[in-house]
Amino acid sequence: MKIHIAKTPSDLESFYPLLTELRTHLTYENFLDTYHHAHKNDQYELVGFFEEETVIALIGYRVLYDFVRGRHLYIDDLITSETVRSQGIGARILEFAEERAKELKCTGGLRLCAGIENTDGIKFYEKNGWKARALAFVKRI
């Protein structure tokens, strides 16, 4: 499996269709705008995993600091193409994230949020050694 960090407009264009399987609300323009702001302001990285020339999975992450965990790798986005699910690729992406966190000296480990309704995702994370430690609250304004 080839791994490639988004660096060019062409990379982003090739990653967009798969990301919309996870983020169905995104228009291409909104995707580009959000990516550029997150990359510039938070060093957000979007990484594609390829089989031959086809993007089969993506992970988007950034390094955060807080008083609870210190420096940690936060996973914003993780998607595996429906065509290759249940083949261990998601687990390999989580291993990639762990290695990346070590390289980036994230002594606070890794963190992500999964929607309460995302029962399949929650089972996947638990199966891969992740523990639910908090509820995330949101309030729209």
pTM over 0.85: yes
State the CATH number of the domain containing residue 76: 3.40.630.30
Which domain does 74 fall in, by range?
2-127
Tell me, yes or no, whether 9 lies in a domain: yes
User: How far from 98 is each of 2, 85, 107, CA to CA, in Å?
Assistant: 17, 20, 11
Q: Is residue 138 part of a domain?
A: no
pLDDT in tens, 18-73: 999 989 999 999 999 999 999 999 999 999 999 998 999 999 999 999 999 999 99
Flag whether 140 is in a domain. Answer: no
Q: Specify the residue for token string 């702001």.
A: 37
Q: Which tens digit of pLDDT belongs to each residue from 98-131? A: 999 999 999 999 999 999 999 999 999 999 999 9
How many structural domains are present in the chain? 1
13: in domain: yes
Q: Which residue has the tokens 């990379």?
A: 11
pLDDT of res. 31: 96
Looking at the domain assignment, is residue 137 inside a domain? no
The Cα–Cα gap between 107 and 103 comes to 10
Q: Is 133 inside a domain boundary?
A: no
Q: Is residue 136 part of a domain?
A: no
- Per-residue confidence (pLDDT) for residue 49, from 0 to 100: 96
